[in-house]
Amino acid sequence: MEFLGIDFSGNLRSWRVDCSTSNVWVCRIKCGRDPRPQVIELRPVQHLPGKGPPFRRLADILAGRQFSAAAIDAPFSLPWRHVPKEGWLKLLELVDELPCSPAPFPSGPSLIALAQTVSDLQCQKPLRLTEQLWSDRRINVRSTLWWKPRGGAPFAAACIKLLATAGFPPCWPWSGQTEGLIVEAFPAAQLWSWKLPSQRYDGRGGIEVRQEIIRGLEHRVNLGAFRKAAEETADALDAVIASFAAVAAYRGEAIQPTGNAVSVAREGWISVHP
Protein backbone atom coordinates (compact mmCIF):
# COMPACT_ATOMS: atom_id res chain seq x y z
CA MET A 1 0.00 0.00 0.00
CA GLU A 2 1.16 3.51 -0.81
CA PHE A 3 0.04 6.82 0.68
CA LEU A 4 0.62 10.44 -0.29
CA GLY A 5 1.22 13.45 1.93
CA ILE A 6 1.02 16.90 0.33
CA ASP A 7 2.22 20.12 1.90
CA PHE A 8 0.14 22.81 0.23
CA SER A 9 0.09 26.53 -0.57
CA GLY A 10 -2.35 29.17 -1.76
CA ASN A 11 0.53 31.34 -3.00
CA LEU A 12 0.60 31.49 -6.81
CA ARG A 13 4.39 31.86 -6.85
CA SER A 14 4.78 28.42 -5.30
CA TRP A 15 3.04 26.83 -8.29
CA ARG A 16 5.09 28.42 -11.03
CA VAL A 17 7.05 26.04 -13.23
CA ASP A 18 10.26 27.98 -12.65
CA CYS A 19 9.87 28.31 -8.86
CA SER A 20 13.00 26.89 -7.22
CA THR A 21 11.87 27.47 -3.64
CA SER A 22 8.34 26.07 -3.77
CA ASN A 23 6.67 25.24 -0.46
CA VAL A 24 4.41 22.65 -2.13
CA TRP A 25 5.94 19.23 -1.53
CA VAL A 26 4.67 15.71 -2.20
CA CYS A 27 5.66 12.66 -0.17
CA ARG A 28 4.89 9.05 -1.05
CA ILE A 29 5.30 6.35 1.58
CA LYS A 30 5.04 2.60 1.16
CA CYS A 31 3.72 0.23 3.80
CA GLY A 32 5.05 -3.30 3.56
CA ARG A 33 6.43 -5.97 5.85
CA ASP A 34 8.50 -3.46 7.80
CA PRO A 35 6.33 -2.02 10.61
CA ARG A 36 7.64 1.42 9.65
CA PRO A 37 6.45 2.94 6.36
CA GLN A 38 9.26 3.74 3.94
CA VAL A 39 9.49 7.14 2.24
CA ILE A 40 9.97 6.35 -1.45
CA GLU A 41 9.39 9.82 -2.91
CA LEU A 42 9.77 13.35 -1.57
CA ARG A 43 9.88 16.20 -4.04
CA PRO A 44 8.54 19.70 -4.77
CA VAL A 45 5.47 19.86 -6.99
CA GLN A 46 7.55 21.21 -9.89
CA HIS A 47 9.36 17.86 -10.07
CA LEU A 48 6.23 15.72 -10.41
CA PRO A 49 5.94 13.63 -13.57
CA GLY A 50 3.32 14.46 -16.17
CA LYS A 51 2.38 17.19 -18.58
CA GLY A 52 1.15 20.70 -18.01
CA PRO A 53 1.78 23.14 -15.15
CA PRO A 54 2.46 21.82 -11.62
CA PHE A 55 -1.13 22.38 -10.39
CA ARG A 56 -2.49 20.31 -13.27
CA ARG A 57 0.07 17.56 -12.74
CA LEU A 58 -0.88 17.25 -9.06
CA ALA A 59 -4.57 17.18 -9.96
CA ASP A 60 -3.90 14.43 -12.51
CA ILE A 61 -2.07 12.34 -9.89
CA LEU A 62 -5.02 12.67 -7.51
CA ALA A 63 -7.45 11.84 -10.31
CA GLY A 64 -5.42 8.75 -11.24
CA ARG A 65 -5.80 7.42 -7.66
CA GLN A 66 -2.68 5.27 -7.79
CA PHE A 67 -2.51 5.24 -4.00
CA SER A 68 -4.51 3.91 -1.09
CA ALA A 69 -5.14 7.41 0.29
CA ALA A 70 -3.68 10.89 -0.07
CA ALA A 71 -3.66 13.71 2.48
CA ILE A 72 -3.45 17.45 1.76
CA ASP A 73 -2.39 20.03 4.32
CA ALA A 74 -5.12 22.52 3.41
CA PRO A 75 -8.81 23.17 4.21
CA PHE A 76 -11.39 21.18 2.26
CA SER A 77 -14.40 23.29 3.22
CA LEU A 78 -15.74 26.41 4.95
CA PRO A 79 -17.60 27.04 8.22
CA TRP A 80 -20.99 25.36 7.89
CA ARG A 81 -22.98 28.62 7.67
CA HIS A 82 -21.20 29.42 4.42
CA VAL A 83 -21.63 26.04 2.73
CA PRO A 84 -24.66 25.87 0.42
CA LYS A 85 -27.68 24.03 1.80
CA GLU A 86 -27.23 21.49 -1.03
CA GLY A 87 -24.05 20.37 0.70
CA TRP A 88 -20.29 20.23 0.37
CA LEU A 89 -20.19 18.96 -3.22
CA LYS A 90 -22.22 21.99 -4.27
CA LEU A 91 -19.53 24.19 -2.68
CA LEU A 92 -16.91 22.43 -4.82
CA GLU A 93 -19.00 23.05 -7.93
CA LEU A 94 -19.42 26.74 -7.14
CA VAL A 95 -15.71 27.24 -6.43
CA ASP A 96 -14.89 25.39 -9.65
CA GLU A 97 -17.01 27.92 -11.54
CA LEU A 98 -15.24 30.97 -10.10
CA PRO A 99 -13.13 32.81 -12.69
CA CYS A 100 -9.40 32.44 -12.15
CA SER A 101 -7.56 32.42 -15.50
CA PRO A 102 -4.62 32.66 -16.00
CA ALA A 103 -4.14 31.50 -12.40
CA PRO A 104 -4.93 27.80 -11.76
CA PHE A 105 -7.26 28.59 -8.84
CA PRO A 106 -9.48 31.47 -7.65
CA SER A 107 -8.33 34.11 -5.18
CA GLY A 108 -9.03 34.24 -1.48
CA PRO A 109 -11.28 37.32 -1.77
CA SER A 110 -13.38 35.62 -4.47
CA LEU A 111 -13.93 32.65 -2.14
CA ILE A 112 -14.97 34.99 0.68
CA ALA A 113 -17.38 36.78 -1.67
CA LEU A 114 -18.89 33.43 -2.64
CA ALA A 115 -19.26 32.45 1.02
CA GLN A 116 -21.09 35.70 1.74
CA THR A 117 -23.72 34.90 -0.89
CA VAL A 118 -24.69 31.98 1.35
CA SER A 119 -24.50 33.80 4.69
CA ASP A 120 -23.09 37.06 6.03
CA LEU A 121 -19.92 36.85 8.10
CA GLN A 122 -20.74 36.84 11.81
CA CYS A 123 -17.15 37.53 12.84
CA GLN A 124 -13.89 38.49 11.14
CA LYS A 125 -12.20 35.09 11.30
CA PRO A 126 -14.76 32.28 11.63
CA LEU A 127 -13.46 28.75 12.21
CA ARG A 128 -14.82 25.31 11.42
CA LEU A 129 -15.44 22.96 14.34
CA THR A 130 -12.35 20.92 13.50
CA GLU A 131 -10.23 24.11 13.43
CA GLN A 132 -11.71 25.38 16.69
CA LEU A 133 -10.72 22.09 18.33
CA TRP A 134 -7.04 22.74 17.59
CA SER A 135 -7.26 26.46 18.25
CA ASP A 136 -8.49 25.62 21.75
CA ARG A 137 -5.28 23.60 22.16
CA ARG A 138 -3.26 26.68 21.23
CA ILE A 139 -2.33 25.44 17.78
CA ASN A 140 -2.16 28.28 15.24
CA VAL A 141 -5.14 27.89 12.89
CA ARG A 142 -5.95 30.00 9.83
CA SER A 143 -9.53 31.02 9.13
CA THR A 144 -10.71 29.92 5.69
CA LEU A 145 -12.59 33.24 5.39
CA TRP A 146 -9.65 35.55 6.12
CA TRP A 147 -7.32 36.47 3.26
CA LYS A 148 -4.90 39.06 4.65
CA PRO A 149 -1.53 38.02 6.19
CA ARG A 150 -1.76 34.51 7.66
CA GLY A 151 -5.18 34.08 6.11
CA GLY A 152 -6.55 30.66 5.14
CA ALA A 153 -8.85 31.76 2.29
CA PRO A 154 -6.18 31.42 -0.44
CA PHE A 155 -5.34 27.93 0.94
CA ALA A 156 -8.99 26.89 0.89
CA ALA A 157 -9.68 28.34 -2.57
CA ALA A 158 -6.68 26.54 -4.07
CA CYS A 159 -7.40 23.22 -2.35
CA ILE A 160 -11.12 23.14 -3.19
CA LYS A 161 -10.30 23.99 -6.80
CA LEU A 162 -7.71 21.19 -6.83
CA LEU A 163 -10.31 18.66 -5.67
CA ALA A 164 -12.70 19.81 -8.38
CA THR A 165 -9.95 19.71 -11.03
CA ALA A 166 -9.11 16.16 -9.91
CA GLY A 167 -12.65 15.11 -10.79
CA PHE A 168 -14.36 15.35 -7.38
CA PRO A 169 -12.59 12.30 -5.87
CA PRO A 170 -13.95 10.53 -2.75
CA CYS A 171 -12.99 12.53 0.33
CA TRP A 172 -12.98 11.66 4.02
CA PRO A 173 -15.21 11.91 6.05
CA TRP A 174 -17.89 12.46 3.39
CA SER A 175 -17.18 9.24 1.49
CA GLY A 176 -17.26 5.75 2.93
CA GLN A 177 -15.01 4.60 0.09
CA THR A 178 -11.48 3.60 1.01
CA GLU A 179 -9.24 3.14 -2.04
CA GLY A 180 -8.11 6.42 -3.57
CA LEU A 181 -9.47 8.43 -0.65
CA ILE A 182 -8.45 12.11 -0.25
CA VAL A 183 -8.02 13.39 3.30
CA GLU A 184 -7.45 16.75 5.01
CA ALA A 185 -4.25 16.88 7.08
CA PHE A 186 -2.83 19.36 9.59
CA PRO A 187 0.82 18.58 10.48
CA ALA A 188 0.90 20.89 13.51
CA ALA A 189 -2.06 19.03 15.04
CA GLN A 190 -0.42 15.71 14.20
CA LEU A 191 2.81 16.71 15.92
CA TRP A 192 0.90 17.96 18.97
CA SER A 193 -0.92 14.64 19.25
CA TRP A 194 2.44 12.82 19.15
CA LYS A 195 3.86 15.18 21.80
CA LEU A 196 6.49 16.53 19.40
CA PRO A 197 7.34 20.19 18.77
CA SER A 198 4.59 21.71 16.63
CA GLN A 199 5.78 25.31 16.28
CA ARG A 200 8.83 27.29 15.16
CA TYR A 201 10.41 24.61 13.01
CA ASP A 202 10.29 26.57 9.75
CA GLY A 203 13.14 28.40 8.03
CA ARG A 204 16.87 28.37 8.70
CA GLY A 205 16.38 29.05 12.38
CA GLY A 206 14.17 26.01 12.78
CA ILE A 207 16.65 23.33 11.72
CA GLU A 208 17.39 22.14 15.27
CA VAL A 209 13.67 21.78 15.97
CA ARG A 210 13.21 19.90 12.68
CA GLN A 211 16.02 17.56 13.67
CA GLU A 212 14.32 16.99 17.03
CA ILE A 213 11.05 16.19 15.24
CA ILE A 214 12.80 13.79 12.88
CA ARG A 215 14.42 11.97 15.80
CA GLY A 216 10.94 11.66 17.30
CA LEU A 217 9.66 10.18 14.03
CA GLU A 218 12.37 7.58 13.60
CA HIS A 219 10.29 4.80 15.17
CA ARG A 220 7.30 5.73 12.98
CA VAL A 221 8.77 6.19 9.50
CA ASN A 222 11.93 5.28 7.61
CA LEU A 223 13.07 8.45 5.85
CA GLY A 224 16.00 6.72 4.20
CA ALA A 225 17.72 8.89 1.61
CA PHE A 226 15.14 11.65 2.11
CA ARG A 227 16.14 12.53 5.66
CA LYS A 228 18.32 15.42 4.50
CA ALA A 229 15.46 16.99 2.52
CA ALA A 230 13.20 16.80 5.59
CA GLU A 231 15.92 18.43 7.70
CA GLU A 232 16.50 21.21 5.18
CA THR A 233 12.92 22.38 4.72
CA ALA A 234 9.84 22.27 6.93
CA ASP A 235 7.68 21.90 3.82
CA ALA A 236 9.25 18.55 2.96
CA LEU A 237 8.93 17.45 6.59
CA ASP A 238 5.26 18.50 6.67
CA ALA A 239 4.58 16.43 3.56
CA VAL A 240 5.97 13.36 5.36
CA ILE A 241 3.88 14.09 8.45
CA ALA A 242 0.75 14.67 6.35
CA SER A 243 1.00 11.17 4.89
CA PHE A 244 0.04 9.77 8.30
CA ALA A 245 -3.34 11.51 8.06
CA ALA A 246 -3.94 9.44 4.93
CA VAL A 247 -2.91 6.23 6.69
CA ALA A 248 -5.17 6.99 9.66
CA ALA A 249 -8.28 7.69 7.57
CA TYR A 250 -7.69 4.69 5.31
CA ARG A 251 -7.34 2.31 8.26
CA GLY A 252 -10.27 3.79 10.18
CA GLU A 253 -7.92 4.97 12.93
CA ALA A 254 -8.33 8.74 12.57
CA ILE A 255 -9.64 10.69 15.53
CA GLN A 256 -13.35 10.79 14.81
CA PRO A 257 -15.43 13.94 14.26
CA THR A 258 -17.26 15.30 17.28
CA GLY A 259 -19.98 17.89 17.64
CA ASN A 260 -22.98 18.74 15.49
CA ALA A 261 -23.35 16.11 12.76
CA VAL A 262 -24.93 18.60 10.36
CA SER A 263 -21.99 20.98 10.78
CA VAL A 264 -19.43 18.20 10.24
CA ALA A 265 -21.31 17.04 7.13
CA ARG A 266 -20.75 20.48 5.61
CA GLU A 267 -17.37 21.37 7.08
CA GLY A 268 -15.47 18.10 6.94
CA TRP A 269 -12.82 17.10 9.49
CA ILE A 270 -9.05 17.06 9.86
CA SER A 271 -7.62 13.54 9.96
CA VAL A 272 -5.13 12.99 12.79
CA HIS A 273 -3.31 9.72 13.46
CA PRO A 274 -3.80 8.72 17.12
Give the pLDDT confidence of 174-220 residue by residue, as tens digits: 987 778 999 999 999 999 999 999 999 999 899 999 999 999 999 99
* Spatial distance between the Cα atoms of 234 and 203, rounded to a whole number of angstroms: 7
Q: What is the pLDDT of residue 255?
A: 86
User: To the nearest whole number, what is the mean pLDDT of the chain?
Assistant: 95
Over the range 185-199, which residues count as b (16 or more CB within 10 Å of their CB) and which as e? Answer: bbbbbbbbbbebbbe
Identify the CA nearest to 6 among candidates 74, 107, 60, 55: 74
What are 42's strand-pairing partners?
27
The pLDDT tens digits for 228-245 are: 999 999 999 999 999 999
pLDDT above 70 covers a percentage of the chain that reads: 100
Cα-to-chain-centroid distance, residue 119: 25
The confidence score (pLDDT) of residue 34 equals 80
pLDDT surpassing 90 at residue 6: yes
Contact yes or no for 71/271 (Cβ under 8 A): yes
The pLDDT of residue 134 is 96
Query: Which of 131-135, 165-169, 173-177 is the least confident region?
Result: 173-177
Q: pLDDT category, 171, cuts 50, 70, 90?
A: very high
Average pLDDT over residues 137-152: 92
CATH fold of 2-77+157-267 reads Nucleotidyltransferase; domain 5 (3.30.420)
Q: Alpha carbon of 91 to those of 54, 80, 96, 252, 258: distances in Å? A: 24, 11, 8, 26, 22
pTM value is 0.96
81, amino acid identity: R
- Residue 258's pLDDT band (cuts 50, 70, 90): confident
CA torsion sign for 81, 82, 86, 87 is: negative
Domain ranges in the chain?
A: 2-77+157-267
Kindly report, residue by residue over 11-50, the tens digit of the pLDDT: 999 999 999 999 999 999 999 888 899 999 999 999 999 8
**Can you give the pLDDT at residue 154?**
96
**Number of residues that this document lists for the chain:** 274
CB-count exposure of residue 258 (10 Å: 0-12, 13-18, 19+): exposed
Q: What is the pLDDT of residue 35?
A: 85
Q: How far apart, in Å, are the Cα atoms of 216 and each of 138, 149, 176, 228? A: 21, 31, 32, 15
Contacts of 90 (CB under 8 A, 6+ apart): 83, 84
Q: Please report which confidence band the pLDDT of residue 259 belongs to, taking 50, 70 and 90 as the band edges.
A: confident
